[in-house]
Structure 1
Amino acid sequence: MSLRTLSRNEVANHNTPEDCWCIIDHCAYDLTGFLDAHPGGCVVLAQSAGKDVTVDFFNLHRAEVLNKYRPQLIVGVLQGEKEEIIPTNLQDLSSVPYAEPLWLRARFCSPYYTQGHRKFQKAVRRFFAENVNPEAREKELDGTYISQKLLNKLAETNILAMRLGPGEHLYSRRLLGGVINGREFDYFHDLILTQEFSRSHTRGFQDGLMGGVCISLTAVKQWLRDDDLRERVMEEVLSGRKKMCLAISEAFAGSDVNGLRTIAQKTPDGQCYIVTGTKKWITNGMFSDYFVTACRTDKGISVLLIPRGHGVETKTIRTAYSTSAGTAYVEFSNVRVPMSHLLGEEDQGAKVIMSNFNHERFVMVCSTARWCIAVVEECLKWCNQRISFKKKLIEQPVLRQKLARMISLAESIQAWLESITLQMCKMDYEEQGKYLSGPIALLKAYSTTSATEVSSIATNIFGGRGLTETGMGRVIEMFNRTNKFDAILGGTEEILADLGVRQVMKVFPKSVL
């Protein structure tokens, strides 16, 4: 569309509610027909008639709001003037300082990432911008589950398979249309994938994007001994035809797994287990077809793969984030489960559970780190945009101190995470369990305690907007409301901190005493 060239005096003549124009970023907009549709009411727009309201507009809105309404409202550009706000593409790297992990910033380098990692990151971000983000916000708000259309795309590109981390299950797969070879996929690719998942800024839907598969199918892959059953279940889930979740927590058993009251008793012929009990706060439980379930058996804990069927009932649990995560209360009532569905050895399920925790906690730290970086970006934008007491917030020393603290916490989480990721790349599954359980536990505890502080600072910076689900403070409100999920799921901060120190004491040399 060809735009008129206008003078400021021409715009100033359109200064009534019946003929309401204004100037924003060196362009003229006709708001006459928009007054009644404005979410903030017509009064504030009528007060802007004929004026340059650029400062006021960006004191209340982000550029994406202007971009949304620009096509139908713009009437011209100002003579001899040029727009200063350049629209950004969601696929592009942010130019805001500290808004991306250090390795993605201009002029910075890292020993951890190759050009292959950079190519992979671009492809994943493009995929999410085109396929996930359009659905994410809608599902987060209405609480409905992931569409089969999106799930199919996650399966077709093998993003579902990549969520299990590196391994032989990727060797014969074409990842993201051939962007990377399955044999080359390492834990840094895993980190990148998880962090791009987090950029939708929809915490409930983030878990609804097959978070249950990420933390349960890994156990099936490693521990289910029946080869035919394992291959069939993996094919069903990774193709998107079936869904899966991890069912450990109960009303009486959270961090204390020994408190489990779900019972699995053998039938007299020894061919099956009869499972009775309940599970609580099960992510993706509402729409899962399989439940990787911890049960109490004769002499310990065992883990069973239980298909949804007769005797399995699920009910929605409403938590602080969206029901799009499918969080469920699960009831098993005399459910018959074949012996072939046992993971690992009978009564040795604690080993299955604990070994599976390492990757789950790693993924959670990846997400927490990226969320903190996103919150830092939002706060930096806001402090350079918001005017209070006739100054931008960034001009206030106390605000700069708050930003410094947030940046330091976010950067330290990411740096420690990348150091641990390198160790994971150098160790096999058993070595990770032996050497990294403690460090990963400590890292997760540190990341979530840091996230709590970042959330508190950010909310104070944004004020009322940091408590509002929509508008400029949306990301801050979401993080403030949901960051504690990662502090609880996968082991609470206190339990993990203690685990980290106990792991140290197991190898502490007596010779130094």
Structure 2
Amino acid sequence: MPRPIPFSEPPYLCGLPSPYYTPSHLRWQKACRAFVNENLNQYAFEWEREEIVPPHVFQKFAEANMLIPSLTAPLPVQWLKRLGVHNILGVVKVEEWDYIHMAIYSDEMSRSGLVGPGASLTTGMAFGVPPLLKFGSQELQERFLPELLLGKKRTCIAITEPGAGSDVAGIETTAEKTEDGKHYVINGTKKWITNGIWSHYSTMAVRTSGSGPAGLSLVVVPLLDYPGVSMRRLKVSGSLTSGTTFIELSDVKVPVSNLIGQEGQGMRYIMTNFNHERLTIAIGSTRQARVALSAAFEYCLQREAFGKVLMEQAVVRHRLAKAGALLESQWAWVEQFVYQMTKLKKEEADVELGGLTAMAKAQAGIVLDECARCAVLLFGGNGFTATGKGEIAEKIYRDVPGARIPGGSEDVLLDLAVRQLVKNYKKQTRIMERPNGSSKL
């Protein structure tokens, strides 16, 4: 087997020892790569140029149960077995699935270097379904989960609005009850909603009462061909295949039974959901950085300038080294995170890793920016061209804002991370303090 181009693969796939990966993980990685290469990655650049992933690809992934791996771990074993899903690609039993399996899947789905094609398939399942699984009533789950888990219907997560992005508490879309209390009437707009244009349903954040976070709730809102719903695709700089959508809601009437969990708990549900989204973005962005940097590395071994190949120029090696150090450090941090997720209960992880996950996601965007920019500069004019040898660098660089803004904008997340660390520190300090009036140490 030929040696991989430096920086092209994580260390565990280069024959180096790792404490994280079991034989189950390694079997899964091989099967996952084979399936994703055959059905997605080999066509990713073609589809990104055409700005659409053909509908049959979603069906292929759904039939193979290859949308399910985008969910949070552990998987909803009882639901899946009830629906006849006992394993993924015949190599991992659903009850054995953990966060490292999920991380491998996210890494492989981004291995083309483009996030859009993979996101066009998985974003709805990854972020729209978990709130239903965690907080939905049994009746609500019975109505929606069978079709969603099997990919017979599509959903999305609809939170962001024209005036409320990272400031989730500023959401203005309203859901007012009818006089008989049986329906919500929803009015407002949602913007930059990934997968929205194809989705039958959405897990939507709405305002059911007064201002601020306490007034927010989550509701399942039908989209495609539903009265009062209007949707159009948005043209964004990168991820052209992911179906970024603008949604307008005018007197959209949905049953109150479509409420997920309890009224007024939407902010808590959203924040819990964000941790999975941010870690998934961190994993995918790190793989994109890997693809960009390794492509530049390979190019520098071949391209001649000033009488010698670029790799013989000290300034080129210096640039690759700086970006490579950032890349491998980020990957080591991501691996540490997903390992910790296999050892902590969800409630513990939300508290202990919530702020750090925000930081890891923000840092992944910074690393991707550095590696993509490095690749563009080393490809030179080719890196500035949308076709040809440097197309991979040019397209990955277009995706950088999609890593640094969605899921919480970078500056907001860095601030959130420190505030969460301070909160946890003060809480633990208070627990350790001696009770007033007590002589106990």
TM-score, scaled to structure 2: 0.91
Match of 2:128 among 191, 216, 237: 216
Give the whole-Å Cα distance in 2 for the aligned partners of 1:293 and 1:121: 33
Partner of 1:377: 294
1: distance between equivalents of 2:419 and 2:3?
41
Runs (4+) of structure 1 exceeding 6 A deviation are none
Provide, for residues 270-293 of structure 1, a one-character-per-residue CA deviation record: whole Å limited to 9, x for no partner.
111110000001001111111111
Cα offset, 1:324, TM superposition: 2.3
- AA of the residue aligned to 2:13: L
Opposite residue 340 of structure 1, the aligned amino acid is S
Q: For each residue in 1:12-44, what CA deviation from the matched residue of structure 2 results, as whole angstroms up to 9, or x when unmatched?
A: xxxxxxxxxxxxxxxxxxxxxxxxxxxxxxxxx
Report how far residue 471 of structure 1 moved: 1.6
**1:345 — aligned with what?**
262
Residues 68-92 of structure 1: per-residue CA shift (max 9 Å, x gap): xxxxxxxxxxxxxxxxxxxxxxxx8
Corresponding residue of 2:63: 156
1:278 counterpart = 2:183: no
1:464 is aligned, of 356, 371, 381, to: 381
Question: 1:180-195 alignment to 2 at 5 Å?
Answer: 180-195=92-107
Match of 2:259, as an amino acid? L
Contact 1:161 1:169 in 2 (8 A): no
Q: CA deviation at 1:457?
A: 1.7
C-alpha separation between the residues in 2 aligned to 1:96 and 1:388?
21
Q: CA deviation at 1:166?
A: 1.9
Aligned equivalent of 1:113: 21
Aligned to 1:290: 201
Deviations 1:352-382 (A, max 9, x none): 1000000000100010111111112111101
Per the alignment, residue 235 of structure 1 pairs with 146
Say which is worse superposed, 470-479 or 356-365, in terms of deviation.
Answer: 470-479
Q: Which residue of 1 aligns with 2:439?
A: none
Rg comparison, structure with higher value: 1
Aligned to 1:210, what secondary structure does the other structure show?
A: helix
* % identical equivalent positions: 38
User: Alpha carbons of 1:498 and 1:170: their partners in 2 closer, same or farther (altered >3 Å)?
Assistant: same
* Stretch moving more, 124-133 or 274-283: 124-133
Cα distance between partner residues in 1 of 2:93 and 2:418 = 38
Mapped partners of 1:175, 1:474: distance in 2? 37
**1:400-425 deviations in whole A, cap 9, x for unaligned?**
10010111011011000111111111
Q: Is the 1:250–1:278 contact (alpha carbons within 8 Å) kept by the matching residues of 2?
A: yes
CA shift for structure 1 position 126: 0.4
Structure 1 counterpart of 2:46, from 107, 116, 138: 138
CA 446–384 in structure 1, closer or farther in 2 if over 3 Å, else same: same
Once residues 181 and 295 of structure 2 are traced to their aligned partners in structure 1, the CA distance between those partners, rounded to angstroms, is 59
Aligned ranges 1:254-273 → 2 under 5 Å: 254-273=165-184
Aligned partner of residue 199 in structure 1, secondary structure: coil
What residue in structure 1 maps to residue 110 of structure 2?
198
Query: For residues 158-202 of structure 1, what are the alpha-carbon distances to aligned partners after superposition, in whole Å with 9 as ceiling and x for unaligned?
Result: 211111032342463233431111111111110000010001233
Distance 2:29 2:382 in 1: 31
CA deviations 1:97-133 (Å, max 9, x no partner) are 2210011112x11000011111111101100121113
CA shift at 1:322, angstroms? Answer: 4.9
Q: Give the deviation of 1:93 after TM superposition.
A: 8.0
Aligned residue for 1:321, secondary structure, equals coil
Matched, 1:165 2:72: yes
Distance 1:95 1:121, change over 3 A: same
Q: Cα gap change, 1:433/1:409 in structure 2, threshold over 3 Å: closer, same or farther?
A: same
For 1:392-431, what aligned pairs fall within 5 Å after superposition?
392-431=309-348
Separation in structure 2 between the aligned mates of residue 286 and residue 238 of structure 1, nearest angstrom:
19
Mapped partners of 1:221, 1:177: distance in 2: 23
Helix, strand or coil for the counterpart of 2:90? coil
- CA 1:421 to 1:165, structure 2 compared with 1: closer, same or farther past 3 Å? same
CA distance in 1, matches of 2:253, 2:86: 38
Hey, what's the Cα distance between the residues in 2 that align with 1:375 and 1:324?
Answer: 19
| Offset, 1:455 | 1.8
Larger relative contact order, structure 1 or 2 (CA cutoff 8 Å, min sep 6): 2
Structure 1 residue runs without a partner (length 5+): 1-91
Distance 1:168 1:194 in 2: 15
Separation in 2, partners of 1:319, 1:507: 38
Match of 1:8 in 2: none
- Please report how far the alpha carbon of residue 429 of structure 1 lies from its aligned counterpart in structure 2 after TM superposition: 1.8
Give the 3-state SS of the residue equivalent to 2:407 in structure 1: coil
Question: When the two structures are aligned, how many residues end up with a matched partner?
Answer: 419
Rounded Cα–Cα distance in structure 2 between residues aligned with 1:323 and 1:373 = 21
Q: 2: distance between equivalents of 1:141 and 1:94?
A: 31
**Aligned amino acid, residue 376 of structure 2:** T
Instruction: Work out whether residues 139 and 145 of structure 1, in 8 Å CA contact, stay in contact via their aligned partners in 2.
Output: yes
Q: Which residue of 1 aligns with 2:220?
A: 305
Q: Check conservation: 1:194, 1:363, Cα contact below 8 A.
A: yes
Structure 2: state its 5+ residue gaps.
Answer: 434-441
Give the one of 10, 26, 37 matched to 1:129: 37
Is 1:97–2:6 an aligned residue pair? yes
